[in-house]
Amino acid sequence: MTDESQAGLYKRVMIKLSGEALTGPEDHGLHAPTLSRIAEDLVGAAKLGSEIAVVVGGGNFFRGMQGAAKGIERARADSIGMLATVMNALAIEAAVEAAGHPARALSAVPMPSLCQPYSRQAALHHLAKQRICILAGGTGNPFFTTDTGAVLRGAELSADVVMKATQVDGIYTADPKRDPKAEWIGRLTHDEAIERRLAVMDTAAFALARENRIPIMVFSIAEPSAITEALSGHGRFTVVTP
């Protein structure tokens, strides 16, 4: 699908990357070839001229909701999940630098011996220097998903779009992996996504994007250059608009 979304229209881009996207064919952890492929894709996106920020999840190591289901207090489980996002951010930072582009990992949970604490001013400074910013620690608070964290950071940093990288090529009327009759949706509004309870992002993330009038692109990260292609307006993706 070719859309009006073009890299030249987006000065600043927020990419939400799940931890699971880094596992490749493995069950958990980091898959080095997949990590390198995604890092090269991020560098390619930056070379299109946009400033690139990334919010990364931690589900490849630990997910707060799953920990809570196993008897860990939810706030504590979410804190463990935040630490997992820092591990992923450091790995992405190293992979982007290995691909020849400057990067900075910043964490909403301060741990200055490992990476720079997140602040809006620091992130804006790095983006202006064309460094890819990898933002870890979610919002720094329990009970908020990294989807919500991505939209929050997108609003803080005046991002022109939030790109949600998933395992499927957009939003469907149901889970296409479970329902063969699920229909692909090319475009819808934030209100429609909330009303239809489409589970690709949580309601808080959609509501925050709606309030700040930030469009969301949902696309598959499975193929090489997926980010670059979607950012260029090529391939297949869903656009959620204000």
pLDDT of res. 7:
53
Q: Render pLDDT for 70-79 as a digit per residue (tens, 0 to 9).
A: 889 999 999 9
Domains and CATH numbers, the chain: 7-241 (3.40.1160.10)
Q: Render pLDDT for 101-130 as a digit per residue (tens, 0 to 9).
A: 999 999 999 999 999 999 999 999 999 999
Measured distance CA(149)–CA(177) in Å, rounded: 26
Q: Render pLDDT for 157-186 as a digit per residue (tens, 0 to 9).
A: 999 999 999 989 999 998 888 898 999 999
Measured distance CA(3)–CA(222) in Å, rounded: 20
Q: Render pLDDT for 77-95 as a digit per residue (tens, 0 to 9).
A: 999 999 999 999 999 999 9
DSSP symbols for 47-109: HTT-EEEEEE--TTT--HHHHHHTT--HHHHHHHHHHHHHHHHHHHHHHHHHTT--EEEEESS
Query: Per-residue pLDDT averaged across 187-193, rounded?
Result: 96
The model's pTM is: 0.93
Q: Render pLDDT for 14-63 as a digit per residue (tens, 0 to 9).
A: 999 999 999 999 999 999 999 999 999 999 999 999 999 999 999 999 98
pLDDT at 9 over 90: no
pLDDT of res. 199:
81
Asked whether 151 and 211 are in contact (CB, 8 A), the reply is no
The set of residues, in sequence order, having a beta carbon less than 8 Å from that of 20 and lying 6+ positions away, is 57, 59, 60, 167
pLDDT of res. 64:
78
pLDDT at 5 over 80: no
pLDDT at 99 over 60: yes
pLDDT at 196 over 50: yes
DSSP letter assigned to residue 142: T
Residue 42 amino acid letter: L
DSSP letter assigned to residue 133: E
Instruction: Share the mean pLDDT of the chain.
Output: 93
pLDDT of res. 8:
57
51-56 and 12-17 as β-strands: parallel, antiparallel, unpaired? Answer: parallel
